[in-house]
Chain A
C-alpha cells in the first residue's frame, strides 16, 4: 500500500507543479497579484509531496521491500544500509526522482530567497521552474516510475551493481545533480527577464549568486566523479573524455562563461543578450547531458539499458525547452541591449575573450561527443572519438585562456591599463617561466615544451591570484569578499593546471606479472608483493594483496589492494591500494591469477595528481566566498524600496 502512496504523491506533485507553472505566469502577465501569490505555496507544497515520494522509496530500500521492481533489481538484504540508501539513485528511475527532489529544493530556496524581489519577477522565476518540474515529473511517472510492483516478489534482490558499491555513490550523484539542476534557476531568471522585457543590472545581481551556487556544486560533483573514476580500475583514469564526463563538463564550461558574463552585466550593464544566451545554453547543455546519459545512444562507462521511449521523451522535452527559450530570445533580446563604451584592453574585453574561449571549448567538446552519432545516422559507419582528440581541441582554447586570467583579473573596467598591469606583473610572469623550467627538471629530470608551457600557465595564474590578497593582508589595499572569491577560484584553476600538466607529462603506469616475494620498480619506487590473504565483506569475499613500497631502501607505504567477488551478481571487482601525498600517488591494483603463483597487477605513479582535485575544491570554495559578498545581501534590502513598474 505504501509504495502506491508514493506514486500518488508524485501525481499530486505533478498537479501542483502545473499550478505553480501556469497561474503565476498568467498572473505576472496580467498584473494579477492573487494569481502570482500561488507561486510560493504551490512550490512548497510540491516539494512536500516530492519529499514524501522520495522518503517512501528510500524506506522501501532500507526495509528491503522487494515487491518493488526497482528495489528488487538494485538492492539486496546483505547490502550495507549506507548503500541501500544510495541505491535509491543507483539506477535510472530513482536518479530521476532525485533530480526532481533537487529541483523542488532549488525552487523552495528561490521561493524563500526571493522575498525581496519584485512580485512579478519572483512569480515568473518560480513559474518557469514549475514548468520544468511538470516536464520531469511527467517523464518519471510515464516512462520511469520507480514504484512499479512485481507480481511475484523475489526472496532477495539482485543487488546493486558492484561497480557502484562505493562511498562515492553516496555523494557524487547528488552533488552533480544539485549543480545540473541549479542551472535551471539561472535559466528561469533569464526567461523571466525576457518575458517581462526588463533586464537591468539589478537583474544580474539577483541571478549571479544563484548561478555561482549551481556552478560550485557542479564543480564539486565533477571533481568527485573524476576522483572516483581515477581509483576505480577500468574507468580510464581521472579524466577520459567519456561522453558522460563530457555531458557534465559542457554545462560547467557554459556556467563558468555565464557568471563571468553576469559580472559584466552587473557592473557595466553590458553583454545582456549574450548573458541570456549563456543562461539558456548552460541549462540546455545540462538537459542534453541527461539525454545522452539516459537514452543510451552513446557508448559510455555509465550507459544504462537503452529504452527508446525515454530517449524520445527527453529529446522532446529538450526540444520544447530550447526552441521556446530561443524563440523568446530572438523576439525579446534585441530590445534589451544597452550600449556603453570600453577600451580594447579594459576588463570587459578580457571577459569577452573568456566567454568566447569557454564557448569554443564547450562547442568543440559537444561536436566531438555528438560526432559518432551524426556519422552513424548519416550511414557513414561507426566511429569513436578518442581522448587524444579531445585533449588537443580542449587545450587550444583553454591554454590562452589560462594565460589571460592573470591579465584580466588585474585590468580595470572601462579603461585599458595593460601597460601598467604588465609593468607590475612582468616579474611574476618571468618568475613563472623560470619556475616552470626548473621544477620539472629538478623533480623529474626531463623537459618537454608543452609541459613547460602548461606549468608556466598554472604558476602564472597561482602567483597572479596571490598578489592582491597578499597586499590586503599587509593592509595595502582593501578587498571585498567577491574579490577574495575570484582570486581563490583562479588560484584553484592554477593548481589544477599544474597538477593536470605534471600528471599527464610524468605519470607512469605499467601492467606486470608478479610472484610472491618478487618486486617491480616504477619511477624509483619498488613495489614488493608480500602475498595474499583472504577477507570477507558484508556481501562479498575478497583476496587481499599486500605490497610494500620502498624508495632507496626505505619503506614508503604499505598498500592493500583487493580483488572482491560479489556473491549475488557473481562479479569480480578490483579495489586499488593507493598511497597519496601532494607530491605523488602510488597506486596498485590486482589483475588476475595467472597460475603458477603469479598475479597480474597494474601499478601507477601519478605525480601531483591531488592538485587536480584540490584545485577544484578551492575553485568551489572561491565560489562560496564570492556568493556571500555583502552586496548581494544589501541588494535585497534595496530592492524592496525600488518601486516596481508593472509590465507593459
Chain B
C-alpha cells in the first residue's frame, strides 16, 4: 500500500468504527437502560407499567416477613414519607437489614406491590447509594451514621 492508501485505510477504518460505535450505543442504550424512580414518583403513578425499573429507599424497621420455610419474602421500602411493599424470592444480599439503603429492580403488580427480580445493597455501611441519599435528602431526612 502506498502511504496515501494507508492513510485512507486508517481514516476509513476509524470513521467506520465510530459510525458502528454510535449506532450500536444509541440503539442498545435506548432499548436496555433501566430507569430509576423515587418512592414519591412511584406513589404519584409516574412509573412505567410494561417494563422493569429501579426503586430505592430504606428498609422499614421490622418490615421483613418471610413465608415460613420458603424463599418468598416481603419487606417495605420507605423514604420516611412514602412506602412501597417489595416482594422478592431468593437470597437477600449480605448487607440487607433494617434501616439499610436498598435498590431493587422489578415491576409493579396490579395490587401496587413491587415484584423485585433483583435486590441490591452494594455499599459499605457509612455509605448510601447516591440515588437513595438524594431522594432521602429531598424528604428532609439526614442519615444518622455520617461521620
Contact = CB atoms under 8 A, between A and B. Distances in A.
B124 A299 contact: no
Interface in A300-340: 300-301, 303-306, 339-340
A342 B70 contact: no
B123 A600 contact: no
**Tier of interface size on chain A:** 35 or more
A32 interface: no
A233 interface: yes
Nearest to A593: B66
A343 interface: yes
A346 B1 CA distance: 9
A228 to B, nearest CB: 14
A115 B7 CA distance: 37
Contact of B33 (A306, A371, A396, A598): A371
Contacts of A371: 25, 29, 33
A235 B68 CA distance: 27
Given A356-B13, A360-B21, A304 B6 contact: no
Nearest to B38: A382
Interface in B77-123: 89-95, 97, 103, 120-123
A389 B125 contact: no
Interface string A31-54: 000000000000000000000000
Interface string A587-603: 00101101110101110
Contacts of B33: 371-372, 375, 383-386, 389
Interface in A271-289: 274
B17 interface: yes
A196 interface: no
Contact of A297 (B95, B124, B130): B130
A89 B3 CA distance: 50
Contacts of B36: 381-384
A306 B89 CA distance: 32
B126 A305 contact: yes
A504 interface: no
A296 B32 contact: no
Contacts of A385: 29, 32-33
A342 B66 CA distance: 69
Nearest to A515: B69
Contacts of B14: 356
A143 interface: no
A513 interface: yes
A592 B147 CA distance: 30
Interface in A450-506: none
B141 interface: no
Contacts of A598: 68-70
B91 A591 contact: yes
B70 A594 contact: yes
Interface stretch (A57-65, A217-225, A569-577, A616-624): A569-577
Contact of A511 (B3, B20, B91): B91
A381 B120 CA distance: 20
A22 to B, nearest CB: 37
A234 B94 contact: yes
B25 A592 contact: no
B70 A386 contact: no
B68 A595 contact: yes
Interface of A: 73, 161, 163, 233-235, 274, 296-297, 299-301, 303-306, 339-344, 346, 349, 352-353, 356-357, 359-360, 363-364, 367-368, 371-372, 375, 381-386, 388-389, 392-393, 396-397, 511-513, 515, 569, 571-574, 589, 591-592, 594-596, 598, 600-602
Given A305-B147, A512-B71, A595-B66, 9 more contacts: A343-B1, A363-B21, A364-B24, A371-B25, A371-B33, A383-B34, A396-B24, A572-B97, A596-B68
